[in-house]
Amino acid sequence: MAADVLIVGQGLAGTLLAWEFERAGIAFALADGGHRRAATMAAAGIINPITGRRLVKSWRIDTLRPAAAAVFRELEVALGVPLWHEMRVRRLFADAREREIFSAKQARGELAPFAGEADEAGFWIHGAARVEVGALLAAARARWRSAGRLCEEVTDLGEVAPRFAQVIDCTGVAATGQEKFRSLPWEHAKGEVLAVAVAGLAPDVILNRRHWIVPVGEGAAWVGATHEPATRDGEPSGAARVALERSACELLAGRAFTVTGQRAGVRVYLPDKRPVAGCLAGCDRIGLLNGLGSKGALWAPFLARQWVRHLTAGASFDPEIGVGRFVR
> Considering the domain 5-45+132-185+272-326, what is its CATH architecture?
3-Layer(bba) Sandwich (3.50)
Inform me whether the pLDDT recorded for 236 exceeds 70: yes
Beta bridge partners of 92: 122
H helices of the chain, in order, are 12-24, 61-79, 96-107, 133-146, 157-160, 238-252, 296-313
pLDDT for res 238: 97
List Cα–Cα distances, 42 to 17, 50, 101, 185, 315, in angstroms: 20, 21, 30, 24, 33
Give the separation between CA 46 and CA 125, rounded to whole angstroms: 13
The reply to whether the predicted model has a pTM over 0.85 is: yes
Residue partners of 229: CB distance under 8 A and separation at least 6: 187, 188, 189
- Please give the average per-residue pLDDT across 68-78, as a whole number: 98
At residue 215, does pLDDT exceed 70? yes
- d(CA 13, CA 225) in angstroms, rounded, equals 20
Alpha carbons 224 and 157: distance in angstroms, whole number? 34
Q: Tell me the mean pLDDT in the region 240-244.
A: 98
Cis peptide upstream of residue 189 (ω within 30 degrees of 0):
no
Please give the radius of gyration of the chain, using alpha carbons only, rounded to the nearest integer.
20
In this prediction, residues 270-299 reach a mean pLDDT of 92
CA distances from 132 to 73, 90, 228 (A): 11, 20, 24
Residues in Cβ contact with 71 at an 8 Å cutoff, skipping those fewer than 6 apart: 16, 19, 20, 301
Q: Map out the domains of the chain as residue ranges.
A: 5-45+132-185+272-326, 187-269
3-state helix, strand, coil in the chain (%, to 5): 35, 30, 35
- Banded pLDDT at 22 (limits 50, 70, 90): very high
Instruction: Round the average pLDDT of the chain to a whole number and report it.
Output: 93
The predicted-structure confidence for 45-60, as pLDDT tens digits, reads as follows: 999 999 999 999 999 9
Directed axis angle between helix 133-146 and helix 12-24, to 10°?
A: 50
Report the C-alpha gap between 313 and 328 in whole angstroms. Answer: 27
Q: What is the pLDDT of residues 101-154, one digit of tens each?
A: 999 999 999 999 999 999 999 999 999 999 999 999 999 999 999 999 999 876
For the domain spanning 187-269, the CATH number is 3.30.9.10
DSSP 315: P
pLDDT score for 155 = 67
pLDDT at 1: 46
Start-to-end CA distance of the chain, whole Å, equals: 40
Interval 312-326 mean pLDDT: 94
Least confident piece of the model among 146-150, 161-165, 174-178, 318-322 = 161-165
